[in-house]
Each structure stands twice: as C-alpha cells, then as structure tokens.
Structure 1
Amino acid sequence: MSAAAPPDNDVLWARGVVKSHHGTPALRGVSLGVREGEVLAVTGPRGSGKSTLLACLSALLPVDEGEVWFNSSPVHTLSRAGRERLRRERFGFVGSEPHLVPELTARENVALPLLLAGAGHKAAYTAATEWLERLDVGDCARLRPAELQQSHRQRIAVARALAPMPTVVFADDPTAPLHREAQDQVLRILASAARSHRLTLVLATHDPDLARFADRTVALADGRLATPPPPVLNGAKTVTAGR
C-alpha cells in the first residue's frame, strides 16, 4: 500500500523510483509529478537517466523499487500485458529516430496506430491527413520515408504520435539528429500541438536551451533530480527536486 495517494491534478506521479541496467544504477530514488496538460522538460547530460525515467513513467520498463502512477492508478503493479495495453491505449512516443515503416507513405504511417486501435479506414486517414497538415508536412502525404528529408520524417513521427490523441506524449531527445533550426521548428510544433489539444508532454533533452519550449523543467544528474540551470529564455519555469 502507498503511504499517500498521488495528487489529483498529477496525470503522472513517481515516488522513490529506482532502476538499474545490468547492475549499473540508472535512477536512484527519483520522485516526480507531472500535471495534466503540462509540457515538462527533463534535462541532463547523456547518461544522467533521462531515457530510463521516461521508460519507467511510460510503462516501457518496470521499476526495481518505488511507485509509478497514471491517473491515480498504479503502473508499478501491472503485468507486462497490462503495461503494453496502457502504452497502446493512452501514451504516444517520439524518439530521436522516427522509425517509420519504409514501405508505407507518410499518411499510411500516421494512420497505422489508429487502424491498429480499431479506427475505421476513413476516420484514420482523415485524422492522419489533418495532423500532417498541422505539422506542415501535408504535401508529403503520398511520399515514402526514403523520399523525405530527415526533418520531415521527424515531423511525420510527431504526427503519428499525436494522431491517436493520447493522454501523454513522451518525447525522448526527439530533435537530437537535427540541426538547430529544424530542432526549434519540430519542438515548437510539438509543444504547440500538445497545448492546443490539452495533451501532457514529457520531453527529455540533453540540450537545456530546448527546455524553453516547456512550462517547467527538472534536471537529472547521475540518476537523481538536481537543481536545474536557470531558464535560457523567459517562459520556462525551473524547479528543484520535490517540486
């Protein structure tokens, strides 16, 4: 039993999360809350535990110790099948590589998760077309990944994550392979789309400058929450461990 229930306005909540990879500690007792509709940036150098934290919050990895809650329901007690169902039905993901299906067009790639979730063909393709337009890659709808620039492929991956309207989108260094101008464009669109549709976005980045697109920033260092650096621009709020 938990000592205390998660706050009602926290869509995600972690307490005392510990996770190791092959005996090497990755997270050392992380406690964190993410409010509904918030754009949260998790910053820190490579190897600080950002990807592991997102994997634990998103039910991709089970925690070794501690608790993870989603909408006041425990995630840390779910079976593997339960975690898979949660990810499929409620979460969206964007990584540092788009991982698009090479044989499918951009529109087919975006429609795919909707079709797999049981949406009708017309509804899935209509939503895919709308999200490609919102992300300024509507003219790429009939093209396959090999025919597209990297920045366009990444925007299509963002559209694919957003089209099913998940409760939470996890973005793990989604702009890492892009140049600065493309990084800003993709993150601006991702954060704007999340806010306009009241989605929660958890963004991990090793570049603190990109945290300016978030509502709030937390920093990881050596698997622990640390005091983050000052925000680069006005608008991003920083917090210390424990909020």
Structure 2
Amino acid sequence: MVAPPDNDVLWARSLHCSPWGSTRTGSGAGAPALTGVSLGVREGEILAVTGPRGSGKTTLLRCLSGQLRPDGGEVWFNSVPVHTMSPPARERLRRDRFGWIGPEPRLVPELNVWENAALPLLIGGAPHRTAKRAAMEWLDRLDIGDQARKRPQTLDRARAQRVALARALVTLPSVLFADEPTAPLHRADRALLLRTLTTAARSHDITVVLATHEAETAGLADRALALLDGHLAGAVPQPASAAAPRPGEAEGRDTCSVSA
C-alpha cells in the first residue's frame, strides 16, 4: 500500500464495488457499480460528483465514508487506510469524523427535533446540555429553531431535511458526505439548504463530497467530477464564479452495493 498525498484528506485508488446480487452474495452477476475509480479530495474542498441516476454516486460516497467495504481498491482518510479497518473502527470513524446527509431525512420518530439534531453528540457521550446547545445553534441557522420540541412526523419534507443537515453538521465533521441532499426539495428550500451547507464548510474548513445530478448544485463546488456507469469520466468545467470565496479571500476570486 502507498499512502496518499499529504494534501489530500480523502483519497481513493482503483475502487471496484459490485451491486446487490453480485460476487458477495453469489446470487447472480451484474455490471459493477464502481470500476477502477481513483480520486483525491483536498482538505476544505467542496467536491461535486455528478452523473445521472444509477451512475454509482451513492456507492462511491458509501465506500469513501466507510459504510461499504469495496471489493477492491483503497480508501484513505488522513493517511489511515479505511479499507482495512474493522467494522467497529469504521463505525467510530463515521461517528467521530464524518457527517452524512442523504435524500431522505431518516429522523428518529421517538425523538423530538433538537434530539434528532444532537443525536451524534449524545451517542458520543457529550453532556446533555452541550449537545442541546450545539444542536440549537444549527437549527437556528437553518431557521427551524422554533420547531425544536416537535416530533419529526409533524414537519414537512423541507424542514425535516434541514434537521438532517443540522445532525450532519453538529459534530463539525472533518468530511461531510452529501448524497443528493436537495433532490426532494423545491427551489427556495434547496437554496437555503445549500447555502447553509456551503457556508458551514467554508467557515469551519469542512471537506464536502457532494453527489448530485443537478448542474446548478454542482456549480457551487470548487471542483466537479463526472461519474458514468461506474467509471470516472473526468472533470466537469466549473463557472469562474461558482465557488463561494473562503473567509478572508476576495469576493471576486476566480476560481458496495447501491448505485445512485
């Protein structure tokens, strides 16, 4: 094994991963979900992975985040080989260093809104008051602090997705994986979610890997890569003004198993 470059917080080489019902289960063949995918993500970078539905975006994010162990290839986080970690170690990594938001909020119905947002901190053993304060800060930034004591089932889809984003950000993760987080939302709700996500990433130096099939969403990233049929198809040209400037920079800066 060769460790990744020092400036890459996340790095993958020659990832291969088969879809459901392939080599792992012996229940049939199928086109691989990922075939030889290699990429690096720099610290604090927002990287968009684009491609049509079924291109392998979700599988790639699940491999990079340690949710799914690839059939072949390597995944490194800060010079630590994620692909060789035990399941408990990968679970700790996801809890302590990674955040995740998908197209479905997946909130816990038995918990109220602020408890859902604070859940990663509470599971990690943070004091109740500390966890609540951190959750409320993110809920307020997402304009849903007034919903803190409500149950998830009383929220509409847009508000529930904001709670999911607050939950993903509450630990200030090193890397946030966002898998089509705005897919179910209308334009105004999509804009608020993306604005909060990108602003948080810039202000807290959070690396973001964003899977999307929407060109407008991908345009907010520092860089975009296209995925097609499990293969990396190359870089996607970005508008010069697409990426928001980081704090302190001039505002006029130029700049294995589920397929997505």
Q: In which range does the TM-score fall when normalised by the shorter chain?
A: over 0.9
Which residue in 1 is equivalent to 2:74? 67
1:48 and 2:46 aligned? no
Q: Deviations over 1:181-205 (max 9, x none)?
A: 2222211211111111111111101
Distance in 2 (alpha carbons) for counterparts of 1:202 and 1:229? 15
1:100 and 2:107 aligned? yes
Instruction: Give percent identity, aligned residues only.
Output: 61
Which residue in 2 is equivalent to 1:7? 5
Distance in 2 (alpha carbons) for counterparts of 1:97 and 1:233? 32
Distance apart, 1:99 and its partner CA: 0.7
1:122 and 2:120 aligned? no
Normalized against structure 1, the TM-score is what? 0.92
2:220 to 213, 237, 241: 213
Amino acid at match of 1:107: W
Distance apart, 1:222 and its partner CA: 0.8
1:171 and 2:178 aligned? yes
What secondary structure does 1:62 align onto?
coil
Distance apart, 1:232 and its partner CA: 5.7
Distance in 2 (alpha carbons) for counterparts of 1:233 and 1:88? 35
1:84 and 2:91 aligned? yes
Q: Deviations over 1:3-55 (max 9, x none)?
A: x3211111100001111112330011000001111111100001111000000
Amino acid at match of 1:200: T
1:225 and 2:232 aligned? yes
1:17 and 2:15 aligned? yes
Distance apart, 1:233 and its partner CA: 6.9
1:160 and 2:158 aligned? no
Distance in 1 (alpha carbons) for counterparts of 2:227 and 2:54? 9
Note the aligned Cα RMSD (angstroms).
Answer: 1.5
Q: Deviations over 1:82-141 (max 9, x none)?
A: 211211111111010101111221111111211110100110111111111122211111
What secondary structure does 2:83 align onto?
coil
Q: Is the 8 A contact 1:102 1:145 kept in 2?
A: yes
Q: Is the 8 A contact 2:101 2:165 kept in 1?
A: yes
1:136 and 2:143 aligned? yes
What secondary structure does 2:143 align onto?
coil
Distance apart, 1:227 and its partner CA: 3.0
Which residue in 1 is equivalent to 2:45? 38
Distance in 2 (alpha carbons) for counterparts of 1:236 and 1:115? 34
Give 5+ residue unaligned stretches, structure 2.
Answer: 23-29, 245-260
Distance in 2 (alpha carbons) for counterparts of 1:28 and 1:185? 35
Give 5+ residue unaligned stretches, structure 1.
Answer: 238-243
Q: Is the 8 A contact 2:224 2:237 kept in 1?
A: no
Q: Is the 8 A contact 1:188 1:213 kept in 2?
A: no
Query: Residues 228 and 7 from structure 1, CA distance in 2 versus in 1: closer, same or farther, beyond 3 angstroms?
Result: closer
What secondary structure does 2:12 align onto?
strand
Distance apart, 1:235 and its partner CA: 2.2
Distance in 1 (alpha carbons) for counterparts of 2:78 and 2:143? 32
Q: Is the 8 A contact 2:224 2:236 kept in 1?
A: no
Q: Which moved more, 1:153-162 or 1:129-138?
A: 129-138
Normalized against structure 2, the TM-score is what? 0.86
What secondary structure does 2:190 align onto?
helix
